Amino acid sequence: MSKKGAKIILDWKQLSLLREKWRRQGKKVIFTNGCFDLLHAGHVWLFKEAKKLGDILMVAINSDASLRRLKGPERPVFPLKERLEILSAIEFIDILTVFPQDTPQKIISLLRPDILVKGGDWPPDQIVGRKDVEESGGRVILIPYINGLSTTGIIKKISS
């Protein structure tokens, strides 16, 4: 059985209503976020492992302006529209959304996912939204990081 691709939902009110529907249905929502500017095997691994943890994998990505503020004027490599198109083709992702802030704190506070997933390179005390998720009975899970796979590292390797 193949999936047609992740649904892109930009309206957070609509996303919040869906979240409530899933909660009533007893579905477990997994949330992760990132820039996903230059997709690589580490990202796919993260999505694959995250999806195993529940029913709905929601991925929130930084807007172009947010990514530029975080990573510098040369980024993004791929604009938002292209990043959404690429990510929507990944079979493990169910829902995609975008956040314009520098962190996903607002959307995590709104949605209160059951599981917040980050790559294992994140120190637990620096995971944005952790407090909200844990206070609402959810968990934070770190997926082991694959050494040598990072967008910044790949860009440095290409440009050297």
Query: Mean pLDDT for each 10-residue chunk of the chain (160 residues)?
Result: 75 95 97 91 92 97 96 92 95 97 97 94 88 97 75 62
Query: Could you tell me the residue ranges of all domains in the chain?
Result: 7-159
Which pLDDT score is estimated for 1? 38
Alpha helices of 25-98 — where are they, by DSSP H?
41-51, 64-71, 80-88
Which pLDDT score is estimated for 158? 65
Q: What pTM was estimated for this model as a whole?
A: 0.89
Query: Is the CATH number 3.40.50.620 carried by domain 7-159?
Result: yes
* Assigned token pair, 55: 């029913």
